[in-house]
Chain A
Amino acid sequence: MENRHAALGLTDSDVLAMYEKMLLTRLLDERAWALNRMGKAHFLVSCQGHEAAQVGAAWALRPGIDWLLPYYRDLGVVLAIGMTPRDYLLALLARAEDPHSGGRQMPSHWSYPPLNIFTGSSPVGTQVPQAAGVAYAAKLRGDDAVVYVSFGEGTASQGDVHEGMNFAAVHKLPVIFFCQNNRYAISVPQSLQMAVDDLADRAAGYGFPGKVVDGMDVLEVYGAMREAVDRARRGEGPTLIEAKVYRLTPHSSDDDDRTYRAREEVEEWKQRDGVTKIRAYLMALGLLTEEADQALRRRLLDEIDAAVAYAEAAADPEPSDLVRHVYAE
């Protein structure tokens, strides 16, 4: 197999580390489902099938310098930029120590100032004008921070997405609009969401480049993201990247995708799973062995086990916390 990562400026250990984050994301998501079915976690949104797109995108960002306005499916993004399984599990179980919201928000509503992860909400698309505002501020201050903002193809129907993209285009702001197109907005297929095959086509209407990438291929995503980040940093403005992915699980722990997707379709996409794909690539190049992979898997599961134990033992918020932080204290 041809070495594809060297040409992207990635070392062997870079790609191994990317694979590790993807595998961690998958194993952690699987654990969240288990905790939900055990009755320990009230709710989760799943990211399985998005790992390659998410880790590939985050890998092009500088932790603590660039800014992120991720959407609720971006577990792989926040893990790749520096959050930990413990952070995620504290939020999943809504503990007081949850670094995102202290147990106030549903899980996967990310927020972490030390890594410039801005707090997000559930109404979709609101983060897009905000991302443009962050980028405007960075430009006004003369900083070279780049802003990553993500959303699904369903969210692309929201007016806020249009408003944010248009403003970013007018001022050539350093924003990467990263759409993870998994073909369904809960149950509604793309064909009822838009009349075009590629959302990326819309970029032309704003006056910046739009690019479609295979979101199941972490290296392809990274390459496109790297290019978009470099372009933003050069002051040439935003890019829309549309990563074609597939959600391998229901939308959330409360969804049943059997009501709207054929099992054959899901099985077909599982054959194209991005985690399996990068593992096969690493093995074909001799960078990963079956034994090393098993050892890695065990180490990650140990880390997740320890994080689960920690989160389960962690304290709930105090009832008196209810009335805090409405205004500055």
Chain B
Amino acid sequence: MREAETPVAIKTLLEAIRDALAEEMRRDERVFVLGEDVGRRGGVFRVTQGLIDEFGPARVLDTPLAESLIVGAAIGAAAYGLRPVAEIQFADFIHPAMDQIINEAAKIRYRSNGAWGCPIVVRAPYGGGVHGALYHSQSVEALFYHVPGLKIVAPATPYDAKGLLKAAIRDPDPVLFFEHKKAYRSVRGEVPDEDYVLPIGKADVKRAGEHLTVITYGYNVHLCLEAAERLSREEGIEAEVIDLRTLLPIDRETILASAKKTGRVMISHEDTKTGGIGAELAAIIAEEALFYLDAPIVRVAPPDVHPMPFNGRLEAAFMPTVEQQYTAMRDLARL
């Protein structure tokens, strides 16, 4: 006799991340979290809520307000054999730790000729649209994209977030794990209770299509998916939407296969345009799939201004919209 299947729980992105942390801490006593307000307060976004009750203050460590220390101490603890998960309260505050991330964490394996590793995760909420103004809204992924030795993950869905955070914690190299703060509570999806790991470095085709390719990540995945559905309904144009999930290393295979198949490529991100991830994606496609293209590559991104003003109208003027994605996709398909 077959038991009735338990329905898969629907969770927010934030809850999926919390589940991943708790499960990894249960699975492996070397895993611990550290950061500002992660303990008693459970994080300013409440991602680590409840962890201190289960694992105690030594493994859910409230640190001084010092980002370089948070990452530097994580590096030292990892050298000793632990698996630290550092939280930077907002990605906008990661800059004091740049030296520890770029000159230290990223280079530790290389500079020791493989003798040492740096298995740390640095989690940081990023992105805007939540009235965060200039210093609680930034997307910082492009600043790190140039750095060999780092891995950068930016999940869009709760399912991906859980599987990828687990993979990041088990990864032998330093992983920056960017969590879009507008998606934290607004994006929901099925998250299985069981343990599963998703591969870092693998993009996911969130919607199959034949007429054009849309490459995106983070909250923009949801904007592009909505635009693609409308485009299908209204124009009969089928867009293939690729969620990068991992920004570094990039999944060239999936991108190039789709570009070659559709011949039209749009790249969309919330980060500003110049020097963004889209520039590298466009270069890869130009180098390796140019003769498959039927139209120029299109990048949809906010203008090169500081993200983003506190004033609601100015914030809205910065933030990507479904309409923008829709128009750009439609125009590209008609070219």
Chain A residues close to B by CB (< 8 Å): 67, 69, 98-102, 104-105, 109, 111-113, 118-119, 121, 123, 126, 128-138, 140-141, 159-160, 163-164, 166-167, 170, 324-329
Given contacts A133-B72, A137-B80, contact A163 B64 (CB under 8 A): yes
Additional A-B contact list (10), CB under 8 Å, known A133-B74, A137-B76: A100-B112, A119-B116, A121-B107, A121-B111, A126-B72, A126-B99, A133-B79, A163-B64, A163-B68, A329-B114
Are B81 and A137 in contact, with the CB atoms below 8 A?
Answer: yes
Given contacts A67-B80, A137-B82, contact A325 B110 (CB under 8 A): yes
User: What are the residues of chain B within 8 A of A133 when measuring CB–CB?
Assistant: 72-80, 84
Given contacts A119-B116, A328-B173, contact A129 B58 (CB under 8 A): no
Q: How far is the CA of A327 from the CA of B152 in the complex (A)?
A: 13
Q: How far is the CA of A166 from the CA of B65 in the complex (A)?
A: 11
Max chain B CB contacts within 10 Å: which of A98, A128, A327?
A327
CB-CB nearest in chain A for B75: A130
Given contacts A100-B112, A118-B116, A137-B80, contact A160 B68 (CB under 8 A): yes
Q: Is B258 close to A, CB under 8 A?
A: no
Q: Is B231 close to A, CB under 8 A?
A: no
Q: How far is the CA of A128 from the CA of B172 in the complex (A)?
A: 23
User: What are the residues of chain A within 8 A of B128 when measuring CB–CB?
Assistant: none
Least CB distance from B112 to A in Å reads 4
User: What are the residues of chain B within 8 A of A98 when measuring CB–CB?
Assistant: 113
CB-CB nearest in chain B for A119: B112
CB-CB nearest in chain B for A167: B69
Interfacial residues of chain B within 63-113, with CB under 8 A of chain A in the complex: 63-64, 66, 68-69, 71-82, 84, 96, 99-100, 103-104, 107-113
User: What are the residues of chain B within 8 A of A112 when measuring CB–CB?
Assistant: 115
User: What are the residues of chain B within 8 A of A141 when measuring CB–CB?
Assistant: 80-82
Least CB distance from B107 to A in Å reads 7
User: What are the residues of chain B within 8 A of A111 when measuring CB–CB?
Assistant: 111-112, 115-116
Are B66 and A166 in contact, with the CB atoms below 8 A?
Answer: yes
Are A164 and B110 in contact, with the CB atoms below 8 A?
Answer: no
User: What are the residues of chain A within 8 A of B252 when measuring CB–CB?
Assistant: none
Are B108 and A119 in contact, with the CB atoms below 8 A?
Answer: yes
User: What are the residues of chain A within 8 A of B151 when measuring CB–CB?
Assistant: 327
Q: Is B32 close to A, CB under 8 A?
A: yes
Q: Is B148 close to A, CB under 8 A?
A: yes
Least CB distance from A165 to B in Å reads 10
Q: How far is the CA of A164 from the CA of B77 in the complex (A)?
A: 13
CB-CB nearest in chain B for A165: B69
Q: Is B149 close to A, CB under 8 A?
A: yes
Per-residue CB proximity of B240-274 to A under 8 Å, as 1/0?
Answer: 00000000000000000000000000000000000
Interfacial residues of chain B within 156-174, with CB under 8 A of chain A in the complex: 172-173
A-B interface contact total, Cβ < 8 Å: 141
Given contacts A128-B72, A140-B82, contact A325 B64 (CB under 8 A): no
Chain B residues close to A by CB (< 8 Å): 32, 58-59, 61, 63-64, 66, 68-69, 71-82, 84, 96, 99-100, 103-104, 107-117, 148-149, 151, 172-173
CB-CB nearest in chain A for B63: A167
Are B76 and A325 in contact, with the CB atoms below 8 A?
Answer: no
Are A163 and B115 in contact, with the CB atoms below 8 A?
Answer: no
18 sample A-B contacts, Cβ–Cβ < 8 Å, listed by A number: A67-B80, A111-B115, A119-B116, A121-B103, A129-B68, A129-B69, A132-B69, A133-B72, A133-B74, A134-B79, A134-B80, A136-B73, A166-B64, A167-B64, A167-B66, A167-B69, A325-B109, A327-B109
Are B107 and A164 in contact, with the CB atoms below 8 A?
Answer: no
Max chain B CB contacts within 10 Å: which of A67, A109, A137, A141?
A137
Least CB distance from A104 to B in Å reads 6
CB-CB nearest in chain A for B32: A140
User: What are the residues of chain B within 8 A of A119 when measuring CB–CB?
Assistant: 108, 111-112, 115-116
CB-CB nearest in chain B for A324: B114
User: What are the residues of chain A within 8 A of B115 when measuring CB–CB?
Assistant: 99, 111-113, 119
Given contacts A131-B76, A167-B66, contact A102 B113 (CB under 8 A): yes
User: What are the residues of chain A within 8 A of B99 when measuring CB–CB?
Assistant: 123, 126, 160
User: What are the residues of chain A within 8 A of B117 when measuring CB–CB?
Assistant: 328
CB-CB nearest in chain B for A175: B76
Least CB distance from B95 to A in Å reads 12
Q: How far is the CA of A327 from the CA of B109 in the complex (A)?
A: 7
User: What are the residues of chain B within 8 A of A132 when measuring CB–CB?
Assistant: 69, 72-73, 76
Q: How far is the CA of A166 from the CA of B108 in the complex (A)?
A: 24
Least CB distance from B186 to A in Å reads 34
Are B72 and A137 in contact, with the CB atoms below 8 A?
Answer: no
Are A170 and B114 in contact, with the CB atoms below 8 A?
Answer: no
Q: How far is the CA of A130 from the CA of B100 in the complex (A)?
A: 9
CB-CB nearest in chain A for B82: A137
User: What are the residues of chain B within 8 A of A105 when measuring CB–CB?
Assistant: 111
Least CB distance from A71 to B in Å reads 14
Are A121 and B66 in contact, with the CB atoms below 8 A?
Answer: no
User: What are the residues of chain A within 8 A of B63 when measuring CB–CB?
Assistant: 167
Q: How far is the CA of A99 from the CA of B111 in the complex (A)?
A: 11
Least CB distance from B227 to A in Å reads 35
Least CB distance from B234 to A in Å reads 44
Least CB distance from A88 to B in Å reads 16
User: What are the residues of chain A within 8 A of B148 when measuring CB–CB?
Assistant: 326
User: What are the residues of chain A within 8 A of B111 when measuring CB–CB?
Assistant: 101, 104-105, 109, 111, 119, 121
Least CB distance from B286 to A in Å reads 23
Q: How far is the CA of A102 from the CA of B84 in the complex (A)?
A: 27
Are B113 and A113 in contact, with the CB atoms below 8 A?
Answer: no
User: What are the residues of chain A within 8 A of B110 when measuring CB–CB?
Assistant: 104, 325-326
Q: How far is the CA of A210 from the CA of B151 in the complex (A)?
A: 40
Least CB distance from A114 to B in Å reads 9
Are B76 and A113 in contact, with the CB atoms below 8 A?
Answer: no
Given contacts A101-B112, A105-B111, A140-B82, contact A130 B64 (CB under 8 A): no
Q: How far is the CA of A130 from the CA of B78 in the complex (A)?
A: 9
Least CB distance from A263 to B in Å reads 37
Are A123 and B69 in contact, with the CB atoms below 8 A?
Answer: no
CB-CB nearest in chain A for B76: A133
Max chain A CB contacts within 10 Å: which of B59, B64, B66, B69?
B69
